[in-house]
Amino acid sequence: MDKSEKFVSTVASFVGLVAKVLPDDVVAKLAELRAAEEVPMAKAVYDCMFENMNLAVKLSRPLCQDTGVIQYFLRVGTHFPLIDELEPLLLKATEIATEKAPLRHNAVETFKEKNTGTNTGKKVPYIEYELVPNSDKLEADVYMAGGGCSLPGRAAVLMPSAGYEGIAKFVADTLVEFGVNACPPLVVGVGVGTCVASSAKLAKRASLRKVGSRNPDPLVARMEEDLENALNGIAIGPQGLSGSASVLCVNIENMARHPSALGVGVAFGCWAHRRGTIVFDADMNYTVLSHKEAAL
């Protein structure tokens, strides 16, 4: 098996794993919320979630019938041997995973309104690159963007006079209006930038950060904590049926902005936050970072 074949085979297996097993940090947070929950209905819902997770592993089936649109967020070394072949290789891996996992067919060509049946299509799977100079490794976040967790996503440019209170209000209003569509408790990614595009991208990146992590800037970390407490105070609860918590975490990513604009984006992840991180070296040996006990 050459490097390309080894890479495709491993990625396909990893995509299948992400569909069936939640990352360690998400499982740990769900367990924490279940232990702290006092509302009987909410406790019953958490019990169902854990039964669902156990059955997904036991039966080797996806956690959720909506296995989403596959998205790859790559930090790729400029010396990684397969850098010039990544897009076709990832498309092939996605097609194999779709058949073997199996994954629901979720790639519908817009305007034609035709399902491709392979989870591939125009710009699908979604692939985003970040180049790492003088490295021969590749680190990939794989994410399954389901219809529910994608529906609440929003981005806007606020007047700068709205201030950080305006950002908090935008996030809270979005959660209250649309959050139940994403199967809470939710991962909430917030992006703060200049325009709609940059803010939305930062929000997506924030949603892929580890649950329980904090932004290294203490001012941003303070806002993460304050927003998390405020959103939990809304008490949407698991599956929107009320309870002690609304969110698994609030993660914020930010950039310098234009003084006349205040961009904000929000990206949600449902309780079944199917995100995985894998690293390849130059020989296509891999290390799974998100699922410590995983074997592909």
Tens-digit pLDDT profile for residues 224-261: 999 999 999 999 999 999 999 999 999 999 999 999 99
In a domain, 50, yes or no: no
In a domain, 196, yes or no: yes
Task: List all residues 6 or more positions away from 36 whose beta carbon is below 8 Å from its beta carbon.
Answer: 244, 245
In a domain, 35, yes or no: no
pLDDT, residue 295, reads 85
Structural domain count, the chain: 2
Question: Tens of pLDDT along 80-114?
Answer: 999 999 999 999 999 999 999 999 999 999 999 99
DSSP state of 83: G
Question: Tens of pLDDT along 63-72?
Answer: 999 999 999 9
265 and 234 within one domain: yes
* Residue 16, domain CATH: 3.30.1330
135 and 13 within one domain: yes
Pairing of β 154-158 and β 262-269: antiparallel
Please identify which residue in the block is written with the tokens 């400029």. 78
Structural domain containing residue 155 = 149-269
In a domain, 258, yes or no: yes
253 and 205 within one domain: yes
